Amino acid sequence: MTTASQDPRFALLPCRPGKIIAVHLSYASRADQRGRRPAHLSYFLKPSSSVAASGSTVERPAGTELLAFEGEIALVIGTEGRRLSLASAWDHVGWVTASNDLGLYDLRANDKGSNLRSKGGDGFTPIGPTLLDARGLDPGRLRVRTWLNGRLAQEDTTAGLIFPLAQMVADLSQHLTLEVGDIILTGTPAGSSVFGPGDEVEVEVDAPTAPGAPTTGRLVTTAAQGEVPFDPALGSLPAVDDQQRTEAWGSRAAAGLAPLGLSEELRAKLEQAPTAGLSGQLRKRGLNNVVLDGVAPLRAGAKVVGVARTLRFVPNREDLFTGHGGGYNAQKRTFDAVGEGEVIVIEARGETGSGTLGDILALRARARGAAGVVTDGGVRDAAAVADILPVFAVGHHPAVLGRKHVPWESDVTIACGGATVQPGDVIVGDDDGVVVIPAGIAEEVVDATLTQEAEDAWIADRVAEGHPVDGLFPMNAQWRARYEQERGRR
């Protein structure tokens, strides 16, 4: 039987770790990249069987594509502790080293945040190659860097953490005893991405401002292709979609996906197209429930065209508002993360008894380059908001959202004005209202709309000349021939 000291996976460590605890989101750069910033620390567990030494090879299982690296600072507990104070927590950290919190995005769908299958695979926690004595390190001045095939992919310092390292230790000790050899993976900064067979990832943790600039050296991991597929008779199979690809690679562009934003040509055509015409063309394609009922522009003549960024409110419940409504909540995170040309679409259940945004958030959306905001709730500071950017709403109300709403989540499928809206849908609004267009058919729908608008304009001229609408609207064969003839001459 191989003991922990004989097992090369654990040779660097004081013992085989009893538990490996990983932080979900901890760096501001990563949180900003994801468009959500946590109010509190949250964790998941990894099995000790996932530990690997520097120089190891990790298998990307057959039938998967999204094996992602995450360079991290690992803390190894040196002294057992329970219910530690923030001031004493760092004293219980024995060593600091580099880690690579590998994850398989293909298996995330059925893990529901536990990450057992997606992050618990053999070799999915490389550690090393050396340990740094924590007593000689300032936890606020550590640096982590990651290279993919020799190219720097990640770099950040612990000054960029949302939650300090000592807080992670102290918080965990409130709930469980931290034992000697336990490992805390402290989260990854922006820049995590995908690597495949033959690719090499290196992670280094150092203290560049400390005397002698101590460093762990580079933790090296190489990917290899697995040959054994998952058995469909035993459990869930790998599955990916564009959202998983985007999160794994770090961006749609890096994943080789077309940008969610509209091309200049498509945007220009949508600017010309009336929502009444777009709605008619969508109806011809079997899409009847694409109008956001009751939503109108704050200022007559306003036009909004863009890609949906969604935000969902739930009915106010005081205990839930305490945890979700205050601080840097989902509403504020969405307005901070909205991209150029995007439209923030808010599900407020048609409840107009409070505002869903006001002038400050409207200014933030404009500064971010947002195309506008659509809400099936109310708007505060309505006159000021109408001067800032195109906003479509059901009504006005002076009260803050806490009167009726709890900001709950963003970037999910929502219901707004009785219509389903998904992130990435195309949103067009004018004086007639707002329509939602599936992105994949936006070009086809707008081209057909503009063609129909040209016909309708020609018919309107004929009606103005005194012709009856019978046979003209819609055009019979005779009128159609005349129209085509005149269009050809033009």
pLDDT tens digits, one per residue of 149-193: 999 999 999 999 999 999 999 999 999 999 999 999 999 999 999
Distance CA 453, CA 456 (A): 5
Question: Tokens 């085509």 correspond to what residue?
Answer: 484
Confidence band for 318, pLDDT divided at 50, 70 and 90: confident
Q: pLDDT tens for residues 125-138? A: 999 999 999 999 99
304-324 mean pLDDT: 91
Between 321 and 437, whose confidence is greater? 437
Average pLDDT over residues 431-439: 95
Structural tokens at position 219: 């933790």
Considering the chain, what percentage of its residues have pLDDT values greater than 70? 98
Q: Are 306 and 427 in contact (CB under 8 A)?
A: yes
What are the sequence ranges of the domains in the chain? 8-249, 264-442
Backbone angles phi and psi of 76, in degrees to 5: -110, 120
Average pLDDT over residues 424-439: 96
Q: What would the mean pLDDT of 1-20 be, rounded to a whole number?
A: 83
Other Cβ atoms closer than 10 A to 22: 25
The C-alpha atoms of residue 392 and residue 378 are separated, in whole angstroms, by 9
Model pLDDT, residue 324: 83
Q: What DSSP designation does 251 have? A: S
The end-to-end CA distance of the chain, in Å, is: 88
**What pLDDT was estimated at residue 4?**
56
Task: Report pLDDT for 31.
Answer: 86
Which pLDDT band holds residue 244 (cuts at 50, 70, 90)? confident
Is 38 a residue whose pLDDT tops 90? no
**Residue 249: is its pLDDT beyond 70?**
yes
pLDDT recorded at residue 1? 34
Statement: residue 6 has pLDDT above 80: no
- Report the percent of the chain where pLDDT is more than 90: 77
Say which residues have a Cβ less than 8 Å from residue 80's Cβ, sequence separation at least 6.
Answer: 92, 177, 178, 179, 180
pLDDT for residue 53 is more than 90: yes
Can you tell me the mean pLDDT for 327-351? 91
Distances (CA, A) of 86 to 89, 94, 166, 174: 5, 16, 6, 11
Strands across the sheet containing 93-100: 43-46, 20-23, 183-185, 71-77, 93-100, 125-133, 51-52
Q: Does residue 416 register a pLDDT over 90?
A: yes
Q: In angstroms, rounded to a whole number, what is the distance separating the alpha carbons of residues 261 and 250?
A: 17
Per-residue confidence band for 39, with pLDDT thresholds at 50, 70 and 90: confident
Section 213-240 average pLDDT: 94
User: What average pLDDT does range 257-280 have in this prediction?
Assistant: 88
Question: What is the C-alpha separation between 474 and 459, in angstroms, rounded?
Answer: 9
Tokens of 278: 């777009």
Work out whether strand 143-148 and strand 200-206 pair parallel, antiparallel, or are unpaired. Answer: antiparallel
What is d(CA 133, CA 312) in angstroms, rounded to the nearest whole number? 46
Q: In whole angstroms, give the CA distance from residue 78 to residue 75.
A: 9
| pLDDT over 70 at 243, yes or no | yes
- pLDDT band (50, 70, 90) for residue 490: low
- Cut 0.75: pTM above it: no
Give the lowest-confidence range in 107-111, 143-147, 299-303. Answer: 107-111
Fold adopted by 8-249: Fumarylacetoacetate hydrolase; domain 2 (3.90.850)
pLDDT score at 308: 96
Architecture (CATH level 2) of domain 264-442: 3-Layer(bba) Sandwich (3.50)
Chain centre distance of CA 437: 21
CA distance 77 to 18: 11
Instruction: Evaluate whether 184 touches 148 at the Cβ level (below 8 Å).
Output: no
The reported pLDDT for the residue numbered 2 is 46
Which of the two residues, 113 and 219, has the higher pLDDT score? 219
Backbone φ and ψ of 399, nearest 5°: -80, 155
Q: Which residues contact 192 (CB under 8 A, 6 or more apart)?
A: 30, 68, 69, 70, 71, 146, 153, 154, 250
Using the predicted structure, report yes or no on whether residue 302 has a pLDDT greater than 50: yes
d(CA 390, CA 367): 13
- How many whole angstroms separate alpha carbon 79 and alpha carbon 363? 50
CB burial readout 374-406, b (16+ within 10 A) else e = bbbbbbbbbeebbebbbbbbbbbbeeebeebbb
| 237's tokens | 């199979």
| Half-sphere CA count of 270, side-chain side, radius 13 A | 29
What's the pLDDT score for residue 5? 57
Give the mean pLDDT of 432-456: 93
Sequence length of the chain is 490
Q: How confident is the model at residue 258 (pLDDT cuts 50, 70, 90)?
A: low
pLDDT value at position 269? 95
pLDDT of residue 474: 86
User: Confidence band (pLDDT; 50, 70, 90) for 260?
Assistant: low
Stretch 257-286: mean pLDDT: 89
SS3 category, 346: strand
* Strand residues in 70-199 grouped as ranges (E): 71-77, 93-100, 103-104, 125-133, 143-148, 151-157, 183-185, 193-194
Q: Is the predicted pLDDT of residue 486 greater than 90, yes or no?
A: no
Query: What's the rounded Cα separation, in Å, for the pair 190 and 244?
Result: 16
